[in-house]
Structure 1
Amino acid sequence: MARVSQEHLDARRRQILDGAARCFARNGFHASSMQDVLTEVGLSAGAVYRYFRGKDELIEAIATEAFTTIRAAFEEAARTTPPPTPDVLLGAVIGLFLDTRIAGADRQAFARLVIQVWTETLRNEVLAKTLSEGYNGMRVAWARLVTAYRDAGILTADVPADHVARTLVATAQGFIAQQALFGDVSVEVLEDGLRGLMSMSVDPTR
């Protein structure tokens, strides 16, 4: 029997994850059955269950991949001299994330899928751990960026790096929540808003 190449296995896994993401984004996680996923993916139950045992494993894999992708982008930015400012970086990373992981659904639908992942952590301990690890990883990545900003002389050192990191993560989360709820928030709005806030200055004598 001919061996199946790793490239083929990776492509099949990608096909399953993309199909599941489309299905969950369109219909909702709880309203989607595994049969719905199978129909969306166009594969047999055996082919899908070879990779994932059910919806929980699928949503965990989608969440893990999302954090891995975003964290890698931020870590790469930290190695750039000078590093891109938060408005440019957040806009680019979130825009890229929504466009590449949208998998056939519109941005609002995909943002709603992200919200569903967050709410699933209230009942799924494994997913809660995945989300916690991803969040902590994001904080570490942003803290490194804060250090890079300071080394480049574009950020003062009077605020703890983790406080800045948490605030920037919250900004990204808030943008996704607005996109999910209202669907009328472009990445350019996020960039402009951050740029405006960054332009503020405080008179130290006041």
Structure 2
Amino acid sequence: MPRVSQEYREKRQRQILDAATICFARNGFHATSMPDIFAESGLSSGAVYRYFTGKQAIIEALLDSTMQPVLRGLRDAAEAEPPLTVPEILDVIHREMVTVPDADAATSLIVQFWAESMRVPHLQVSQRRDAAALHDAVLPLLTRLHPGDRVGSDAAWALISLSLGTLISQTVLKTNTVPTGTLVEELRVLLSKST
């Protein structure tokens, strides 16, 4: 039997993960069955099980892959000239968070991960690890904006909180279409008036 290349394996895994994302977005984690994923992917059960032992393994693989594009985008941005502004950093996070396979499916998946992590301890651990990695990727970007000033760790958490809030209002609830730059400026004005 001929050996398959690493590229072929990665392409097949991505096909399965993309199909699972569509199924999970449509029906949720619990209502999606493995046969649903087989049908959406166009692959046989044997082909899917060759790469994943079951639905939980697919969920975990999706969880592991969700933050990687965001972290890559932020790490690449750490070298950008001129340094990214706060709205640009937020835009990188949002753009990279909702890329695969489409914004609505990706957003649904993210929200389901958050909900599932409330009841599954090892998913909560994974979500915390991803949040810490996001913090560690954001902090150097903020430090570059204020050379010579001490930018504390809390600044990165503040930006992440703003990011998650705008993600929910813009992408999940779709109640907010205000550009990120405008939101940041409005927040700056509010904070300046409250001190």
Q: Which TM class, normalised by the smaller chain length?
A: 0.7 to 0.9
| Counterpart residue number, 1:185 | 176
Paired AA for residue 164 in structure 2: Q
CA contact (8 A) 1:87 1:195 kept: no
Measured in 1, the distance between the counterparts of 2:25 and 2:41 equals 14
| Counterpart residue number, 1:23 | 23
| Counterpart residue number, 1:59 | 59
In the alignment, which of 191, 197, 200 is matched to residue 187 of structure 2? 197
CA contact (8 A) 1:108 1:179 kept: no
* Percent identity of equivalent pairs: 34
| Counterpart residue number, 2:46 | 46
1:3 and 2:9 correspond: no
1:115 and 2:111 correspond: yes
CA contact (8 A) 1:111 1:179 kept: no
TM-score, normalised to structure 2, is 0.87
| Counterpart residue number, 1:68 | 68
Shift of 1:95: 2.6
SS in 1 for 2:31: coil
Measured in 1, the distance between the counterparts of 2:110 and 2:139 equals 23
CA contact (8 A) 1:19 1:37 kept: yes
| Counterpart residue number, 1:172 | 163
CA contact (8 A) 2:117 2:123 kept: yes
Measured in 2, the distance between the counterparts of 1:201 and 1:117 equals 32
* Structure of greater relative contact order (alpha carbons < 8 Å, 6+ residues apart): 1
Q: Alpha carbons of 1:202 and 1:183: their partners in 2 closer, same or farther (altered >3 Å)?
A: closer
Unaligned runs of 5+ in 2: none
1:163 and 2:163 correspond: no
SS in 1 for 2:51: coil
Shift of 1:109: 4.4
1:79 and 2:70 correspond: no
CA-to-aligned-CA distance 1:134-153 (integer Å, 9 cap, x gap): 111011111111222222x6
CA contact (8 A) 1:38 1:48 kept: yes
CA contact (8 A) 2:73 2:96 kept: no
Shift of 1:202: 4.5
Measured in 2, the distance between the counterparts of 1:51 and 1:185 equals 39
CA contact (8 A) 1:25 1:109 kept: yes
| Counterpart residue number, 1:90 | 90
- Structure having the larger proportion of residues in helix: 2
SS in 2 for 1:50: helix
Root-mean-square deviation over aligned CA pairs: 2.4
Shift of 1:84: 0.7
CA contact (8 A) 1:109 1:180 kept: no
Q: Alpha carbons of 1:6 and 1:134: their partners in 2 closer, same or farther (altered >3 Å)?
A: same
